[in-house]
Amino acid sequence: MALSEAIAAAFALLLSGDAALWRIVWVSLFTSVTGLALAAPLAVLLGYAIAVHRFPGRRLAIWIAQAALSLPTVLVGLLLYLVLTRHGLLGGLQWLFTQRGIIAGQVLIALPVLVAFTLAAVQAADPRFAETALVHGASRWRVMLTVLYEVRFGVMAAVISGFGRVISEVGCALMVGGNIAGETRTITTAIALETSKGEFAQGIALGIVLVAVALAMNAVLLLLQGDASTAGGVS
């Protein structure tokens, strides 16, 4: 099939509302958003805590958070597979080859991204934000919320980067999910499968959806940043 024919067939699939294709998209979005939602609160708290507190091993914690950004997702999948397999530590959960297993993998993949970006954003914040809040008698939780609000766009960038990492990864989803049609087949695992079969139309269609989701997420961030600049008097 020529490239032009494959692209035309891909758009035809998208516009026809092909049930199998949109089921794949739904599984990807559901597992990615759920995993990100579970990872974000803990990751933001950890990133903030590492940034503002001085404790033994702090530099080691920063090094681990930053080094984990380059951790191959297939390795995360391998380790999680060994833990979730029948004789593994968490084998009793029976999460292997399920959406729950994929979500667990997405949490592990998103955590270091969110921690590292939040850490960087808080470290770059003006220390006067926290000092002013303390002078006015704010509690530690209130100070944290004040600082996080001031660096909210950095935190939002962390969330978007984390989402991009989890929805585009293939290694962990393939190993832990098993690429089961209608259940654990995600956009990336489906693209790999369809390409290996020579079925390029569905692969291209799913690739278009993946790019569209990434562009939409970044467009939202840009719009919010633009609104903030306008509110702050920046032309």
Under 8 Å between Cβ of 200 and 194: yes
Q: CA–CA separation, 118 vs 114, rounded Å?
A: 6
- Among candidates 111, 127, 110, which has minimal Cα distance to 51? 127
Residue 213 counted as domain residue: no
Is 5 inside any structural domain? no
**Domain-located, residue 202:** no
Residue-number span of the structural domain to which 170 is assigned: 28-185
Q: What is the pLDDT of residue 235?
A: 40
Whether 175 and 83 have beta carbons less than 8 Å apart is answered as no
List of the chain residues with pLDDT < 70: 1, 226-235
Residue 227 has what pLDDT?
58
In angstroms, rounded to a whole number, what is the distance separating the alpha carbons of residues 144 and 150?
10
Tell me whether residue 199 is in a domain. Answer: no
What is the distance of C-alpha 74 from the center of its chain? 15
Per the structure block, which two tokens stand in for 13? 């699939």
Q: What six digits make up the tokens of 126?
A: 């003006």
The predicted pLDDT at position 117 comes to 93
Q: What is the pLDDT of residue 228?
A: 55
Query: Nearest-CA neighbor of 51 among 150, 137, 132?
Result: 150
pLDDT at residue 3, rounded to an integer: 81
Residue 212 lies in a domain: no
Query: Can you give the pLDDT at residue 223?
Result: 83
DSSP 101-116: HHHHHHHHHHHHHHHH
> Is residue 149 in some structural domain?
yes
d(CA 218, CA 94): 36
In a domain, 162, yes or no: yes
- In the DSSP assignment, the letter for residue 19 is H
Q: Report how far residue 163's alpha carbon sits from residue 175's, in angstroms, rounded to the nearest whole number.
A: 19
pLDDT of residue 21: 92
For residues 159 and 221, what is the distance between their CA atoms, to the nearest angstrom? 10
- Could you tell me the two tokens for 139? 């509690």
The conformation of residue 88, written as its DSSP 8-state character, comes to S
Q: What is the pLDDT at residue 218?
A: 84
3-class SS of residue 66: helix
Number of C-beta neighbours around residue 176 at 10 A: 29
Residue 19 domain flag: no
Neighbours of 57 (CB within 10 A): 9
> Which residues have CB under 8 Å from 151's CB, separation 6+?
121, 122, 124, 125
* 3-class state of residue 203 by DSSP: helix
Helix (H) or strand (E) holding 226: helix 200-231
- The CATH number of whichever domain residue 105 belongs to comes to 1.10.3720.10
What is the total count of domains within the chain? 1
